[in-house]
Amino acid sequence: MRIVVAKPGLDGHDRGAKVIARALRDGGHEVVYTGLRRTPSEIIRIVTDEDVSALGLSTLSGAHDVLIPKICDGLREAGLGDVMVFAGGIIPNRDREFVFEQGVRAIFGPGSRTDEILSFLDACSDRIEKGEPIGVGQSAGWRWE
Amino acid sequence: MALGVTPLGEKIESALSGNRRSLARLLSRIEEGETLELPEVTPWTLGVTGPPGVGKSTLIGRLVEYWIDNGEKVAVLAVDPSSPRSGGALLADRMRMDSTDSGESVFFRSLATRGHPGGVSHLLSPMTDLLCYCGWSRIIIETVGSGQAETRIVAFADRVLMVDGPDRGDIIQAEKAGIIELADIIAVNKSDKPGAKRAADSIRSSLELGNDKNLPEVHLVSAHNSSGIDELVVAIEKCSSPDWRNRLRITERLLSTWDSRLIMSDGLDGVLDDLETGSITLDEALDRLLS
């Protein structure tokens, strides 16, 4: 899969994002890493130009409740509804349902194992092959929990 | 995850009218091996090469800014290596070029080498044709950080900028490098750091040791504080490749196509299995792959 791993907003810590990017690479995926402090519109631009199937968002600052909806809406508006979005970082339990409702298919918090993320991506590939919905603009329902 | 309902021609029309998504999708199609029927075009291409860590990506970011300010539409194809073990790739050139993530006048695409030797594949050529056809007037190809023998970039770029930096070791390293003979322009980056001027001087004196009359210009620049960038762009715009380069370009294109045919051939895994067990020789393997 081609995947963008992005750091939206103002938090300046990307060790987690880099660990994920590296693990996905070692799992055979092509990973475009954006670097720190990207705006939602920059991230949508990157997803467009790079023609990726998936977007991983890492946020630790607590702004996930603003940034993730902006990015998911922006993707749908840009006609990128078939792109799968997953999230990671610090997303409190009380916010998980809200984040899933934005179209995010998985949330990987602290303690997640990288092999679990790879299994999730394999499951996504299977669903794509079968034509089952997975994108941020496609019907809700399936999520990785 | 291509939906694949739009016919190719329609997609090309859409890309031509400025739809970035269509352009991005078409580039993926080319990467997957599809051939597009396009009218003949003459893309303006600049290859940027040089050792890892000398600031190629940051310098390209400055060139992009300059050209955008002067009304050009700039596309960047940045090549990073695929992992030989997993086949995956970490494509991180974008993070050093954040000027490329906004505005309609720049298009940035990261490419993985996907096993193609020489760091760039023969697919770059149809990609630059497509970008040119869609109105991108300056196309920059960034190669993987090169060692001493990476010359394949000449197959795909009309002009080659080699970037070096201070403290890169003994100048004999530069003299050994094939790429320095192929560079149309040399930029020594990080002029804000000590040692950069000395590096530029020793590259100049190394070039002058040869018999060649048409020596490439050596520019001292700093992508960090933008000094020397304007002069560098002017030099890039007016430089042209020498005639003897044509033969080399054709040779490299031929080798590149050969490599790609080998790597993409259906029976490759089986042949590799047989080679591993020693049941066939290398020559037999080639015969089987190309038959």
Q: Which DSSP string do the residues of chain B spell out, in sequence order?
A: -----S-HHHHHHHHHTT-HHHHHHHHHHHHTT-----------EEEEE--TTS-HHHHHHHHHHHHHHTT--EEEEEEEPBPTTT--EEE-GGGG-GGGGSSTTEEEEEEE-TT-GGGS-TTHHHHHHHHHHTT--EEEEEPPPP-S---GGGGT-SEEEEEE-SS---THHHHH-HHHHH-SEEEE--TTSTTHHHHHHHHHHHHHTSS-SSPPEEEE--TTT-TTHHHHHHHHHH----TTHHHHHHHHHHHHHHHHHHHH-TTHHHHHHHHHHTSS-HHHHHHHHH-
Quick: pLDDT tens for B81-90: 787 788 788 8
Asked if A31 and B89 come within 8 Å (Cβ–Cβ), the reply is: yes
Contact A33 B21 (CB under 8 A): no
For residue A111, what is the domain's CATH number? 3.40.50.280
Domain of A98 in residue numbering reads as 2-130
> What pLDDT, in 10s, does the model give residues B104-120?
899 999 988 887 765 56
Whether B194 shows a pLDDT value over 60: the answer reads yes
pLDDT score of B289: 85
Assess if residue A145 is contained within a domain: no
Best mutation site among A45, A49, A80 for testing chain B: the one with the most B CBs within 10 Å?
A49
Q: Which residue in A24, A35, A80 is closest to B95 by CB distance?
A: A35
Residue A86 lies inside a defined structural domain of this protein: yes
**Mean pLDDT score, B38-66:** 89
Domain annotation covers residue A74: yes
CB contact under 8 A, A79 and B21: yes
Does the distance separating the beta carbons of A79 and B1 come in below 8 Å? no
Distance from CA of A131 to the nearest CA of B (A): 10
Cβ of B90 and A42 within 8 Å?
no
In a domain, A138, yes or no: no
Q: Do B88 and A25 touch (CB under 8 A)?
A: yes
pLDDT class for A56, splitting at 50, 70, 90? very high
- Tokens representing residue A92 in the block: 């409190």
Q: Is the pLDDT of residue B97 over 80?
A: no
Q: Is A143 within a domain?
A: no
pLDDT at B4 (0 to 100): 44
Q: What is the pLDDT of residue B26?
A: 94
Confidence of residue B144 (pLDDT cuts 50, 70, 90): confident
Q: Is A119 helix (H, G, I), strand (E, B) or coil?
A: helix
Residue A140 lies in a domain: no
Name every chain B residue with its beta carbon within 8 A of the beta carbon of A21. 90, 92
CA A7, CA A55: separation in Å to the nearest integer?
Answer: 11
* CA angle (A129, B6, A46) in 5-degree steps: 70
Average pLDDT over residues B40-63: 89
Q: How many domains does chain A have?
A: 1
- The larger pLDDT score, comparing residue B212 to residue B236, is at B236
Q: Which domains does chain B have, with CATH numbers?
A: 7-34 (no CATH), 38-242 (3.40.50.300)
Q: A121 pLDDT exceeds 60?
A: yes
pLDDT given for residue B98 in this prediction: 67
Q: Choose among A25, A36, A41: nearest Cβ to B90.
A: A25
pLDDT digits 0-9 by tens, B210-226: 777 778 889 999 999 99
Q: In which band, very low, low, confident or very high, does the pLDDT at B100 lie, cut at 50, 70 and 90?
A: low
Would A113 be classed as within a structural domain? yes
Chain A interface includes B136 (CB < 8 A): no
Nearest to A28 among B24, B86, B98 (CB): B86
In a domain? residue A105? yes
How many contacts, defined by CB atoms under 8 Å, are there between A and B? 83
Looking at per-residue pLDDT, the higher value among B264 and B177 belongs to B264
Each residue of B242-274: pLDDT tens digit?
A: 777 778 778 878 887 888 778 778 888 899 999
Asked if the ipTM is above 0.85, the reply is: yes
